[in-house]
Amino acid sequence: MSGFRIKFNRLRNIPYASTIQESLPFDQAFEMEYKFGGGWNLVLVKPILIHSVVIFLVQFPGGEGDSMALVYNSRDEWSDIEKESTGETEAIGLAIEKYYSKRYLLSTPSHVLN
């Protein structure tokens, strides 16, 4: 994982974010909610690291939607690598950023900040 960085918008300008990002537990699924279409929706997200690219496999409970494979691309946008991206793609991507921002940056031990 040498040189790996997640370049999420919310994490980009935080000085110690790269240290935290390198130690994120990939291959560990999590549930999260995202807002789209005027309501809150639940998805299961499984991040996988392939070389230096993180792909977020997204599944909808109960088969409510087609699965997605999201990446944060070089244009600093969320895109689905399997099909055309939509507003929902961006909404899920922003929720992923928010999940990592809250979970890892707000609970960072003080020794990592120095």
- Kindly state whether residue 84 falls inside one of the protein's structural domains: yes
**Per-position DSSP letters for 15-50, written without gaps between them:** TTHHHHHHT--TT--EEEEEEETTEEEEEEEEEEEE
What is the extent of the structural domain holding 67? 49-107
- Kindly state whether residue 16 falls inside one of the protein's structural domains: no
Please report the pLDDT score of residue 97 as a whole number.
Answer: 84
Average pLDDT, consecutive stretches of 10 residues, N- to C-terminus, the chain (114 residues): 45 57 71 92 89 85 85 83 91 89 62 47
- Beta-carbon contacts of residue 113 (< 8 Å; ≥ 6 apart): 16
- Kindly state whether residue 97 falls inside one of the protein's structural domains: yes
Please report the pLDDT score of residue 36 as a whole number.
Answer: 92
Amino acid at 4: F
- Kindly state whether residue 9 falls inside one of the protein's structural domains: no
- Kindly state whether residue 8 falls inside one of the protein's structural domains: no
Residue 51's closest CA among 67, 71, 68?
Answer: 71
Spatial separation of the C-alpha atoms in residues 46 and 39, rounded to whole Å? 22
For residue 71, give both structure tokens. Answer: 């990446």
Please report the pLDDT score of residue 69 as a whole number.
Answer: 93
| pTM for the full predicted model | 0.74
- Kindly state whether residue 28 falls inside one of the protein's structural domains: no
Please report the pLDDT score of residue 3 as a whole number.
Answer: 35
Please report the pLDDT score of residue 66 as a whole number.
Answer: 86
Please give the tally of structural domains in the chain: 1
- Kindly state whether residue 60 falls inside one of the protein's structural domains: yes
CA distances from 79 to 3, 14, 34, 83 (A): 22, 24, 16, 9
- Kindly state whether residue 19 falls inside one of the protein's structural domains: no
